[in-house]
Amino acid sequence: MPQDNHHIFADGKLSRSEDTLRIDTLAGEMKHLPVESVGTLYLHGQIDFNTRTLGLLNDYGTTVHVFGWNDYYKGSYLPKRQHQSGNTVVEQVRAYDDQDRRMPIARSMIQASMHNMRSNLKYYDTRDHEFGDAIERIEQQQELVADIADIQELRGAEATARKAYYGCFDDVLRDPFELSRREYNPPSNETNALISFLNAMVYTTCVSAIRKTALDPTIGYVHEPGDRRFTLSLDIADIFKPILADRVLFRLVNRRQLNLDDFERELEGCLLNEGGRLTVLEAYEETLDETVAHPRLNRNVSYKTLVQTDVYSLKKHILTGEPYRPTERWW
């Protein structure tokens, strides 16, 4: 079972204290974090730590994601693998290298991503919004996907669908929030800043889930492994962004849990300030813990577990040929 995420916002020092973690903040506070209950640690502040601390995190298989200035994702400290499986990596690469194996995986990933975008629009379509055209455009792209034999074209179809999807955001979002157009590096307005931050969180959630298996995070099926980031995480993240990031965004804005004071504008960009990030993370973590009844597993699973089982399903497909069923919102 996935364990909890812990976020540290304070500046200070993280250390090993006996067999657990201890954080001493610059403000003079001290806290113990029971290491066995920390699945993933997020460091948002300026934190000092040493190799002894990393050794402890390693023993417990705890992943650490590090965020830098203004909470840009910097990178991750991944514990030593618990599962070494050469067999898995060999099959993962073979599946990437063989068009007949890669394309069906990539197609199902894109299909799932489009399905989840469309599902969000349908939800708002039944609530006084007119998204019929956009839904239709996404459906057209979904139909095309079945016949696409080229990975570039597949990504093109995904981009077309995503454009139609983002085109509806302004209508969903309550004023003064607007998307206008998706921009990053740096995000150009509040909505772009929110999307970027939430997408980064989804990405790290996927990194942690992949790390729990023997899969190599750098070899993806939709994205090319030449990218600097973990391309398999990007693939899986695209499936979950509509479920985990966009719904949280809509909720936070429309319930007025966020306002323009939660952002800071500088260097022609716009970013969440610390108060805003806390609000967003709280909502994001709550969403990860939300549960739905899983039809095939016959029990309730959290959204976070869905990310994990999605990765398991991919791994099973790669090793056995049994169908990969990426997560398509059924609830």
Partner 1 sequence: MTDELSYSDSERIDNLIERERSPHREPSVRITGLMVQYYHVCRRELWFMSRGIDIDRGAANIRRGSYVDEHSYRNKRRSFSIDGRISLDLLDDGDVMEVKVSSALEEPPRMQLLYYLWYLDRIHEVEKSGVLAYPKERSRESIALTEDTALEVEETLRGIIDTVEADSPPDLEKKPYCHSCLYQDICWL
Task: Give residues in contact with partner 1 (CB under 8 A).
Answer: 1, 61, 82-83, 85-88, 212-214, 296-299, 308-309, 312-313, 315-316, 319-322, 325
- Least Cβ distance, residue 314 to partner 1 (angstroms): 9
Evaluate whether 71 touches 272 at the Cβ level (below 8 Å). yes
Evaluate whether 249 touches 276 at the Cβ level (below 8 Å). no
- Considering beta carbons, is residue 10 or 301 the nearer one to partner 1? 301
- Considering beta carbons, is residue 88 or 279 the nearer one to partner 1? 88
- Least Cβ distance, residue 297 to partner 1 (angstroms): 5
* Residue 44 Cα distances to 22, 38, 197, 326, angstroms: 16, 16, 12, 31
- Considering beta carbons, is residue 90 or 260 the nearer one to partner 1? 90
Residue at token pair 């093109």: 156
For strands 47-48 and 291-294, give the pairing.
unpaired
Output the furthest CA–CA distance in the chain (Å, rounded).
Answer: 61
- Least Cβ distance, residue 299 to partner 1 (angstroms): 8
Burial (CB < 10 A; 0-12, 13-18, 19+), residue 172, is: buried
Evaluate whether 16 touches 56 at the Cβ level (below 8 Å). yes
**Which residues are CB-contacts of 27 (< 8 A; sequence separation ≥ 6)?**
10, 12
- Considering beta carbons, is residue 138 or 306 the nearer one to partner 1? 306
- Least Cβ distance, residue 213 to partner 1 (angstroms): 6
- Least Cβ distance, residue 294 to partner 1 (angstroms): 9
- Considering beta carbons, is residue 89 or 144 the nearer one to partner 1? 89
The two tokens of residue 114 are 């489009």
- Least Cβ distance, residue 323 to partner 1 (angstroms): 9
**Which residues are CB-contacts of 31 (< 8 A; sequence separation ≥ 6)?**
22, 23, 25
- Considering beta carbons, is residue 3 or 25 the nearer one to partner 1? 3
Give, as one character, the DSSP assignment of residue 324. Answer: P
- Considering beta carbons, is residue 211 or 277 the nearer one to partner 1? 211
Number of neighbouring beta carbons within 10 Å of residue 83: 10
Evaluate whether 13 touches 47 at the Cβ level (below 8 Å). yes
- Least Cβ distance, residue 39 to partner 1 (angstroms): 10
- Considering beta carbons, is residue 2 or 269 the nearer one to partner 1? 2
Looking at this protein, which amino acid is placed at residue 26?
L
- Least Cβ distance, residue 296 to partner 1 (angstroms): 5
CA 143 to chain centre: 26
